[in-house]
Amino acid sequence: MLLKIKNKITNQIPISVKVTIWYTFFIGLLLAAILGSLVFISDILVTNVSQKELIKSVNEIATNPHKFESYDDGIFFLKYDSSGRKLGGLTPAGFFDNARFSPNKINIQKKRNNRFFYYDMKIRHEHGNWVRGIFPVTKIGNILKKLLFILIMMSPILLFLIIYGGYKIIKNGFKPVEKISNTAMKIKENKDFSKRIDIGYGSDEIHNMAKSFNSMLDTLESSYLHEKQFSSDVSHELRTPISVIMAESAYGLDHIDTIEEAKESFLVINRQSKRMTDLLSQIMELTKLEGKETIVKEKFDISQMIIEIENDFIKMSKDKNIVFSADVENNVSIYGNRVLLERVFYNLLTNALKFTKNKIKISLKSYSYLNCCIIEVEDNGIGIPQNEQSKIWDRFYQVEQSRNKNKNKGYGLGLSIVSTILKLHNGKIELQSTPNQKTIFKVILPINNKS
């Protein structure tokens, strides 16, 4: 329950704010730790270094009395005789000169805010005279304190700069995400798949995400347009037979008097109904195939299948004066769906028969080193102009000059069915055509592909 409330609250805070709070906390912690350890270390450092320096300097004067000076390098020196009478030197302000010899150890004197280290030592060859070195710790401590004070004063400014700069960078970094969600909302509201996210040039993670989003929109737009086009094509194709049926039946109702006239009208209606059934079954077939991801495959002799189909076509067109020739390699077997592949060659030969002048050639050759076989269907008909060759695979597409021909009674779906079936077989189809000379459809199928 508590966790749910916490999640509800934190999910409402923008990510940029969350990240800023997160690193501000740690930077603040880090800064406090650095400053704290600086205070601590500086104290130890000052004590250690200054005590060592004091011992060294006093020791030097005790062994070389002629080097005696009242003040050198931050240290005050005093000289006494054996009874504690001051013989020379300088006493730092605030130091209480007790003149009691306390040899070979660091002594500490604290008076109000002042702190001193002092060190005594007998002077060599001077019969009881001794030297005292005094180091006023407060002085160097004050400098360090000032330094620390400056640092502490600077740290909020530094912290502010870090937080502000970081926040700005994160905020700007997330701007494209805002654009992405706005674009998605607009697409949802207006169903306008042509919208794209424009966040300029870049290759960071957000730009890459926007690119992926745009390419997803490309796919969505093309399939959306495809579907739209498909529905409009289907209605367009159905409109003609339906209009004919309606006109013919209306005419029949009003004007037909004899059985013969009625039969004629029924013939027209029957022909148009057949066209509609034909079209609808082709659409169903294509839709079914496009929804499939895999098909049932079995090993079969494709050479035999090609010869059988060719024979059927020879029989079908025996009164058409068309010369068929075949160059089919024997005993080539492949893994595939026989029924669907029959449909492929049936469609290709139907087209060849529709558009040829007088020759149709079919060949099959296997290439075991390429693990494929190639089947070519060639005719010497009207051909397909170069600029139309990429379009004939689209659903309902028919080349203008063939559309006008009385003998092309298709709907422009045959080749879409062919290419869909071949995709399901991991195969492909290529086209070579020279208008008014020849057209070759080249089907390439893998031989040993079971999957």
Of 217-225, 226-234, 250-258, 406-414: span binding ligand ADP (CB under 6 A): 406-414
Q: Which of 197, 413 has the CB closer to ligand ADP? A: 413
- Smallest CA-to-CA distance from 143 within 72, 74, 70, 48 is with 74
**CA–CA separation, 231 vs 225, rounded Å?**
10
Q: If binding is defined by CB under 6 A, does position 130 make contact with ligand ADP?
A: no
**CA–CA separation, 89 vs 76, rounded Å?**
8
By Cβ distance, which residue is nearest to ligand ADP? 410
**CA–CA separation, 442 vs 431, rounded Å?**
6
Of 170-178, 247-255, 265-273, 411-419: span binding ligand ADP (CB under 6 A): 411-419
Residue the block writes with tokens 């919208």 = 195
Q: How far is the CB of 383 from ligand ADP (least distance, A)?
A: 6
Q: Which of 78, 352 has the CB closer to ligand ADP? A: 352
Q: If binding is defined by CB under 6 A, does position 413 make contact with ligand ADP?
A: yes
- Smallest CA-to-CA distance from 57 within 117, 10, 119, 2 is with 119
Q: What is the dihedral of CA 297, 301, 302, 304, to 10 degrees?
A: -140
Task: Indicate the length of the chain as a whole number.
Answer: 451
Q: If binding is defined by CB under 6 A, does position 381 make contact with ligand ADP?
A: yes
Q: Which of 313, 355 has the CB closer to ligand ADP? A: 355
Residues with Cβ < 8 Å from 146, sequence gap 6 or more? none
| 145, two tokens | 């304190």
Of 54-62, 117-125, 195-203, 392-400: span binding ligand ADP (CB under 6 A): 392-400
**CA–CA separation, 96 vs 246, rounded Å?**
128
Long-range contacts of 155-163 (CB under 8 A, 24+ apart): 155/31, 155/35, 158/31, 159/24, 159/27, 159/28, 159/31, 162/24, 162/27, 163/20, 163/24, 163/27
Contact 279, 237 (CB under 8 A): yes
- Interacting residues with ligand ADP between 347 and 366 (CB under 6 A): 347, 351-352, 355
Of 179-187, 238-246, 289-297, 397-405: span binding ligand ADP (CB under 6 A): 397-405
**CA–CA separation, 360 vs 352, rounded Å?**
7
Q: If binding is defined by CB under 6 A, does position 279 make contact with ligand ADP?
A: no
Number of residues that bind ligand ADP (CB under 6 A): 23
Q: How far is the CB of 405 from ligand ADP (least distance, A)?
A: 9
- Smallest CA-to-CA distance from 409 within 251, 231, 266, 282 is with 282
Q: If binding is defined by CB under 6 A, does position 89 make contact with ligand ADP?
A: no
Residues with Cβ < 8 Å from 298, sequence gap 6 or more? 335, 336, 337, 338
Contact 295, 420 (CB under 8 A): no
Q: If binding is defined by CB under 6 A, does position 283 make contact with ligand ADP?
A: no
Helix axes 205-255, 137-190, angle to 10 degrees: 10
R_g of the chain, CA atoms, integer Å: 50
**CA–CA separation, 225 vs 219, rounded Å?**
10
Pattern 309-348, ligand ADP, x by CB under 6 A: --------------------------------------x-
Of 53-61, 224-232, 334-342, 377-385: span binding ligand ADP (CB under 6 A): 377-385
Q: If binding is defined by CB under 6 A, does position 446 make contact with ligand ADP?
A: no
- Name which position in 62, 78, 415, 445 contacts ligand ADP (CB under 6 A): 415
Q: If binding is defined by CB under 6 A, does position 414 make contact with ligand ADP?
A: yes
Of 1-9, 47-55, 70-78, 395-403: span binding ligand ADP (CB under 6 A): 395-403
CA angle 252, 278, 319 (to 5 degrees): 95
- Name which position in 129, 273, 408, 432 contacts ligand ADP (CB under 6 A): 408
Residue the block writes with tokens 């970094």 = 173
Q: If binding is defined by CB under 6 A, does position 411 make contact with ligand ADP?
A: yes
Pattern 416-435, ligand ADP, x by CB under 6 A: x-------------------
Residues with Cβ < 8 Å from 338, sequence gap 6 or more? 298, 300, 305
- Name which position in 54, 362, 382, 422 contacts ligand ADP (CB under 6 A): 382
Q: Which of 155, 408 has the CB closer to ligand ADP? A: 408
Which DSSP category does 291 fall into?
T
Q: How far is the CB of 234 from ligand ADP (least distance, A)?
A: 14
Q: Which of 89, 383 has the CB closer to ligand ADP? A: 383
Q: If binding is defined by CB under 6 A, does position 402 make contact with ligand ADP?
A: yes
Which residues of the shown chain bind ligand ADP in the complex (CB under 6 A)?
347, 351-352, 355, 379, 381-384, 392, 397-399, 402, 408, 410-416, 439
